[in-house]
Amino acid sequence: DLKITPMEFWEESNVLAREHEVDPILAYMKLMLDKARISGKVQISKSAFRKYGKTVDLFKGVKSWFGEINEYAVKKGVKLEHYIISSGLKEMIEGTPINGHVKAIYASSFIYDQHDVAIWPANAVNYTTKTQYLYRINKGIESVTDNLAINEFVAEEDRRIPFSRMIFIGDGSTDVPCMKLVKNQGGHAIAVYSEGKEDSKNYAVRLLRDGRVNFIAEGVYTKNSRMFKYTSSVIDMVSASYRLYSLMKSVTQREGEAEVETLNI
């Protein structure tokens, strides 16, 4: 709608970021608003962004992925929750077909005036700020404005979703800190590469070689894909690990009760 190619837009955005030492995410958000206002024709309302989201190209199989992987998890006694952490626009993601399948979307967004027109960035999610949302998910803190609870100490066993039970799937450089964090904390990080794009695959291979991810896969989410097979295998492992943990805990409790009874005799 802005009459420029994506490559031209991102080149201009990168120049803006370098010249003014601006965070690249804030730079693209400002440029987006500036270009729209100059054109006088491009809408920058929340509803318009959601409309643009309907045109976003998704990886093959993504639309059916959630239903199929959830069904597999249920059979294994595992409850899956899906979250999106993105440097892209939250409003556009809300317009995609996958919006109804996720528990929460943590992404860049705008403040809107009384006419529903974007006027200022409300949240800018870059490569390092992405990690804070992993901690919010880990501790069960959904509000992005709650800065007190996120910094409170919570014992590992009391955290809502342990890192060891997380699977982080990413396809870009802004995902690397999250990949490394999840992997280092015992979870699983997967680097996705685009079909037919050698540079994309080479980057994923480098992440694997450097120990930043556990696995790489082509961006295909169908039931017979490498992505599905690896993810389902992780679900198997989590299910088995939890059953073992529950068994060990019950045995420990019974032994403790028996010891108390012996002492009371």
The radius of gyration computed from the CA coordinates of the chain, to the nearest angstrom, equals 22
**pLDDT in the model for residue 265:** 47
Cβ proximity of 187 and 161 under 8 Å: no
Rounded to an integer, what distance in angstroms lies between the CA atom of residue 97 and that of residue 76? Answer: 26
pLDDT tens digits, one per residue of 54-93: 999 999 999 999 999 999 999 999 999 999 999 999 999 9
Rounded to an integer, what distance in angstroms lies between the CA atom of residue 70 and that of residue 74? Answer: 6
Q: For 107, phi and psi rounded to 5 degrees?
A: -155, 170
Rounded to an integer, what distance in angstroms lies between the CA atom of residue 143 and that of residue 80? Answer: 20
pLDDT tens digits, one per residue of 119-148: 999 999 999 999 999 999 999 998 888 989
**pLDDT in the model for residue 157:** 87
Cβ proximity of 166 and 182 under 8 Å: yes
**pLDDT in the model for residue 40:** 81
Residue bearing tokens 């809107």: 112
Question: Which tokens in the block code for residue 3?
Answer: 């009459």
Cβ proximity of 86 and 29 under 8 Å: no
**pLDDT in the model for residue 219:** 96
Q: pLDDT tens string for the chain (265 positions)?
A: 677 899 999 999 999 999 999 999 999 999 999 999 888 888 899 999 999 999 999 999 999 999 999 999 999 999 999 999 999 999 999 999 999 999 999 999 999 999 999 999 999 999 999 999 999 999 999 888 898 989 899 999 899 999 999 999 999 899 999 999 999 999 999 999 998 899 999 999 999 999 999 999 999 999 999 999 999 999 999 999 888 888 887 777 666 665 555 555 4
- pTM of the entire predicted model: 0.90
Which stretches of the chain are assigned E, i.e. beta strand? 83-89, 104-112, 118-123, 167-170, 188-193, 215-218
Question: Which tokens in the block code for residue 236?
Answer: 């198997």
**pLDDT in the model for residue 258:** 56
Q: Is 83 left (phi over 0), alpha (psi -120 to 50) or beta?
A: beta
Rounded to an integer, what distance in angstroms lies between the CA atom of residue 117 and that of residue 52? Answer: 15
Helix, strand, or coil (residue 257): helix
Cβ proximity of 138 and 155 under 8 Å: no
Rounded to an integer, what distance in angstroms lies between the CA atom of residue 240 and that of residue 242? Answer: 5
